[in-house]
A and B are shown apart, each in its own frame.
Chain A
Amino acid sequence: MAATAERTDAQVVRDVLAGDRDAYRLLVRRYGDVLYAHALRMAGSQDEAADLVQRAFISGYRKLASLRDTERVGAWLFRILSNLSKDHLRSPRRGDVSVERLPQLPEGRADPLEAVHQREVRARLHLAMDQLTPEQREAFMLKHVEGRSYEEMAATLDVSVASLKMRVHRAREALQGLLEGFR
Chain B
Amino acid sequence: MKDELHRLLDGEAPAAGLSDEARREAESWDRLLAAFRVEAPPASAPPWLESRIMAEIESLPEPGLPGRIRNWLLSPRPVRVSPLTVGLAAAGLTAILLVGRGEPGAWPLPAGGGGSAALASGGGGDPAASVVYVQFALEAPGASSVAVTGDFDAWEGSHALEDLDGDGVWSGRVPVRPGVHAYMFVVDGSSWRTDPRAERYADDGFGNRNAILAVAAPTI
Contacts and interface: CB of A to CB of B under 8 A. Distances in A.
Nearest to A18: B64
A65 B68 contact: yes
A41 B40 contact: yes
A36 B43 contact: yes
Contact of B40 (A32, A46, A80, A145): A145
B54 A28 contact: yes
Given A19-B64, A80-B144, A91 B44 contact: no
A37 B43 contact: yes
A149 B180 CA distance: 50
B85 interface: no
B47 A17 contact: no
Contacts of A84: 144
Contacts of A83: 142-145, 188
Nearest to B37: A145
B155 interface: no
A95 B58 CA distance: 32
A54 B32 contact: no
A175 B54 contact: no
Given A21-B58, A90-B190, A182-B32, A54 B63 contact: no
Contact of A50 (B49, B68, B165): B49
B86 interface: no
* A interface, over-half SS: helix
Interface residues of A, number: 64
Interface in A134-165: 141, 143-145, 149-150, 158, 165
Interface string B94-108: 000000000000000
Given A19-B62, A41-B40, A66 B144 contact: no
Contact of A63 (B28, B31, B58, B63): B63
Contacts of B53: 28, 32, 53-54, 57-58
A183 B10 contact: no
B45 A87 contact: no
Nearest to B29: A183
A122 B190 CA distance: 29
Contacts of B32: 175, 179, 182-183
Interface in B174-194: 188-190
B45 A32 contact: yes
Contacts of B6: 169, 172
A89 to B, nearest CB: 10
Contacts of B66: 19
A66 B166 contact: yes
A40 B68 CA distance: 34
B42 interface: yes
A84 to B, nearest CB: 6
Contacts of A64: 63-64
Contact of A87 (B10, B68, B142, B189): B189
Most chain B CB neighbours (cut-off 10 Å) among A66, A80, A91, A182: A66
B45 to A, nearest CB: 4
Nearest to A106: B41
Interface in A1-36: 1, 16-19, 21-22, 24-25, 28-29, 32-33, 35-36
Contacts of B20: none
Most chain B CB neighbours (cut-off 10 Å) among A68, A83, A91: A83
A18 B9 CA distance: 47
Given A28-B53, A66-B164, 7 more contacts: A18-B65, A36-B45, A58-B53, A80-B144, A83-B144, A86-B188, A179-B32
Which 6 interchain pairs have the tightest Cβ spacing? A17-B64, A36-B45, A66-B166, A83-B144, A183-B28, A32-B45
